[in-house]
Chain A
Amino acid sequence: NAGVTQTPKFRVLKTGQSMTLLCAQDMNHEYMYWYRQDPGMGLRLIHYSVGEGTTAKGEVPDGYNVSRLKKQNFLLGLESAAPSQTSVYFCASSRIPTGVYSGANVLTFGAGSRLTVL
């Protein structure tokens, strides 16, 4: 089982360039998330999706767009990269609880994608 796979693992961009990070999960999870991790800041939620065709903003959505055209894939796009977007990006997925108040999801994370914007 691959779990959650992120591509690419490393990328260097110049300011103003665009790129897309791909997240794929093979666990049939409904929920998917994109987080960024910066030194001393922990993980902060960028965008998330509760199902195919849906997306929603997280804590730090500015400068990013996302799409969930297929249940197994969640794409994170940077239209015009800025140095402030230099970070490690983590994708995660989780199943939907089987019932109301039945429990919070355990997130399964990908290995991360390190992005540097010069």
Chain B
Amino acid sequence: AQKVTQAQTEISVVEKEDVTLDCVYETRDTTYYLFWYKQPPSGELVFLIRRNSFDEQNEISGRYSWNFQKSTSSFNFTITASQVVDSAVYFCALSEAYSGAGSYQLTFGKGTKLSVIP
């Protein structure tokens, strides 16, 4: 069974601080995919990143960076120089690889609510 744990329920930071959102996952699959989604106060879910289990390279996109470590089953997300617009709930999710048999489900963590205070 797949499981995603986001231990941080809520985090508050002051604007311009760096913040890291933790994500720990469990799966028996050797091939899998990890995702981060953002849910701003308006409520929609916005895709941020997808990584596969074979690619442990860290990724940076502007102020966002992701640290994937298979050894610790973690896929952490760091926001550098946070801004008020980063205030949102962030979800980490896990999916098995497509094997040609039916759909593969996205298992979500419970989310981390980030509040960036001006």
Contacts and interface: CB of A to CB of B under 8 A. Distances in A.
A104 B104 contact: yes
A93 to B, nearest CB: 11
A102 B98 contact: yes
A109 B98 contact: no
Given A42-B108, A50-B102, A104 B45 contact: no
A45 interface: yes
Interface residues of B, number: 29
Interface string B72-103: 00000000000000000001000111111011
A33 B35 CA distance: 17
Interface in A52-110: 56, 58-59, 88, 90, 92, 96-97, 100-109
Identify whether the interface residues of B are mostly helix, strand, loop, or mixed: loop
A40 B9 contact: yes
Contact of A112 (B44, B50, B97, B110): B44
* Residue from the set A40, A44, A103 with the largest chain B CB neighbour count within 10 Å: A103
Contacts of B37: 109
A52 to B, nearest CB: 14
B105 A45 contact: yes
Contacts, number: 72
A50 B35 contact: no
Contacts of A107: 45, 47, 106
Interface of B: 4, 9, 31-33, 35, 37, 43-45, 47, 50, 52, 91, 95-100, 102-106, 108-111
Given A42-B108, A48-B103, A59-B105, 16 more contacts: A31-B103, A35-B108, A41-B110, A42-B111, A43-B108, A48-B105, A56-B102, A101-B98, A103-B33, A103-B98, A104-B32, A104-B35, A104-B96, A106-B35, A107-B47, A109-B37
Interface of A: 31, 33, 35, 40-45, 48-50, 56, 58-59, 88, 90, 92, 96-97, 100-109, 111-112
